[in-house]
Amino acid sequence: MRRLLVGLVAVLGLLAGGALFARPPSVPEEAIRTAVTRTPALMEQAFALPVAASFGRDLTWQSNASRCGPASVANVYRSMGEEETTEAAVLDGTGLCWTGWCIIGLTLDELAGVAQAHTERKVTVLRDLTEDAFLDHLRRANDPSRRYIINFRRKEIFGAGAGHHSPIGGYLEKEDLVLVLDVNEAFKPWLVERKRLYDAMNTLDGEKKRGMLVVE
């Protein structure tokens, strides 16, 4: 009984600690509103792009602050007609986030494993991209046969915040704006200049650079 109680306390401590440690610094509402573009005409134009249209306007929001990665994969799967379209389904059998929290979040490599776990599609990690290579991939982000998930740091865009995963809905090349389908309900989808998004992606997560996943 004593061992059981000790184990229970340890699990509760892990849950509480994970909740606190995984919660990113808050971003002021004003920064969320003003740091990115949500001009109605441009948003309509962006959501008319073929990949964005496959997601639709009704994203499934991440269930807590640490699960942006699984939520991104679930939304990507839904847009591609795969069966696993919930956080729980994409995490099943991976051994990750078993407490309900992805303690300190998932790295890009861990998320690639989650994305590959329940599909026969090819999942590729894109890291250490140059600006030109990033642009080349954005030009392919409107291809209905592929989906991109980007890992970036909010601080470079909103002035505060930590690492985050979200799908890319498409690229308005003439305007040089990227549609980020933010899976955090407090942010919702937004458009941002390519260079600013690149700078937010081109940051360190531990010893490795952030980057993108491509699912095709």
Each residue of 35-73: pLDDT tens digit?
999 999 999 999 999 999 999 999 999 999 999 999 999
Query: What token pair was written down for 87?
Result: 């956080």
What was the pLDDT predicted at 26? 81
pLDDT of residue 6 exceeding 50? no
Is it the case that residue 144 has pLDDT exceeding 90? yes
Backbone dihedral region for residue 41 (phi beyond 0: left; psi -120 to 50: alpha; all else: beta): alpha
Segment holding 15, helix H or strand E: helix 2-22
Q: Name the E strands within the chain.
A: 123-127, 147-153, 163-172, 177-180, 190-193, 204-205, 208-209, 211-215
pLDDT, residue 17, reads 44
Average pLDDT for the chain: 91
Q: Per-residue confidence at 1, pLDDT binned at 50, 70, 90? A: low
Mean pLDDT for the stretch of residues 74-81: 98
